[in-house]
Amino acid sequence: MFSRKLCSVLSPTKRTDKDDTYVAMTPSGTQTVPAASPLSDRETFARNYRVGHVLGKGGFGTVYAGIRLRDGLPVAIKHVPKSSVTAWGQVNGVRVPLEFCLLRQVSHIPGVVKLLDACDTGDVFVVVMERMESCKDLFDFITERGALPEAMAKSFFRQVVEAVIQCHRAGVFHRDIKDENILVDLKTLTLKLIDFGSGAYVKESLFSDFDGTRVYSPPEWINYRKYHGMPATVWSLGILLYDMVCGDIPFEQDEQIVSAQVSFQGAHHISRQCQDLIRSLLEFCPDDRPSLEQVLFHPWFYPEVEVSVVDSGSVTADCSMQMDQTWSVMETATNTCSSSSDSHFSSSVVSSTIAVPSPRRASFTLGGSLPYSSASTASSSRNSMTEVDLDCEFAMEAVIYHEERAHLPLQMAPEMC
């Protein structure tokens, strides 16, 4: 098995001018007032924490187990030598590592490790974060257990995607999403995203530096040394999901990354919906990858979806015959779908998106075109064609997913595809 423990490559981040100040109303008018310092002084910091054994060490610095003395709270204390910091920012006028700025901005998100305190000791910048007493990073979790059961992978992956969505809404790209940067609470099986040392502020323009792990980097970075943050994030999530369900990453060399050919040879235990989702995340062209929100609409996330391989000829004949019955069936289908509590399944969606051949069943092609629809697909033609039967309500989710995929805005120059 390929050695999966990898080192991050850091390079400077452009933006370093983030400053948290606030505007206060005074009797004389509006005045900009600096907020209190975000850092504890050295004496107070030393009295508040007891440092224990080493939890991890790398190019970023060293992380220690610790205890907050006033209440016995377990904490993780990260020592970052200033000489190793390549990107700086400002918080309330105080110069701090950009990693601290980013973590501070997303610390409220449930799926992100919580920032508790920080201190500038002179040569070292110290960050204090929450620590789960019974936890393990996802790399070690997979190494010890092997490929995860698909139900567990689904729960884990949904948690990661939801956390990343919230980070982006808070204005932060992580840029190094991988199993080593995800902590698993062994008691609750909840996940926390850690290590924003490679992160950056969200921007619409291209990045020309890559601060993450190369085998998780997208083809556009390998080929053109530039990328957009969102589709690059989606690519890294595709690598992560493959790692979860297969037990290792799909690509090791640059040539494999730029080929974007995903192999599931020998992985007969992986459902076709899961394979289809991974292929859509690992599309070569950035514009062909779904958005993060669209990922959560994929049929794989619905356990009631059943997969069956169907001969394409019989499908066409069967669908043509059932089209004659469509108008008489439509009212029944509409009533069935409208009974769902989800507002997506309205009669207008049913009638305008896909002609449903029966009240409770509809056809949907993973990796191919939708029957009776001009919607584009989540996968390119080089991916395999698989026919699945979906309950009506889940078919509507699948159709919405593919309809939205058809209207993704172009983000990359044509030559990058």
Contact indicator for 4, 240 with CB cutoff of 8 Å: no
Out of 176, 209, 243, 276, pick the active-site residue. 176
Contact indicator for 174, 236 with CB cutoff of 8 Å: no
Helix (H, G, I), strand (E, B) or coil at 242: helix
Enumerate residues 6+ apart whose C-beta is below 8 A from 340.
Answer: 393
In the annotation, is 176 catalytic?
yes
Q: How far is the C-alpha of 304 from the C-alpha of 82, rounded, in Å?
A: 52
Burial letters 126-159, b for 16+ CB under 10 A, else e: bbbbbbbeebbbbbebbbeeebbebeebbebbeb
The pair of structure tokens assigned to 409 is 């805005």
The pair of structure tokens assigned to 348 is 């207008």
Residue with tokens 């890294």, as numbered in its chain? 236
Q: In whole angstroms, how far apart are CA 151 and each of 190, 277, 297, 302, 347?
A: 14, 15, 16, 11, 32
What type of residue is 369? S
Residue with tokens 């999901």, as numbered in its chain? 241
**Number of continuous H segments (helices) and E segments (strands) in the chain:** 13, 17
What type of residue is 183? L
Contact indicator for 57, 5 with CB cutoff of 8 Å: no
Kindly report the backbone phi and psi dihedral angles of residue 56, in degrees, each rounded to the nearest multiple of 5, phi listed first. -170, 155
Angle at CA of residue 227, ends 224 and 232, nearest 5°:
125
Q: How far is the C-alpha of 73 from the C-alpha of 184, rounded, in Å?
A: 19
Q: In whole angstroms, how far apart are CA 326 and each of 138, 310, 313, 351, 364?
A: 48, 21, 20, 10, 16
Largest CA distance in the chain: 81
Angle at CA of residue 251, ends 246 and 254, nearest 5°:
175
The pair of structure tokens assigned to 32 is 């900009």
Q: How far from each other are the two terminal CA atoms of the chain, in whole angstroms?
A: 31
The pair of structure tokens assigned to 44 is 């107070």
Catalytic residue numbers read 176
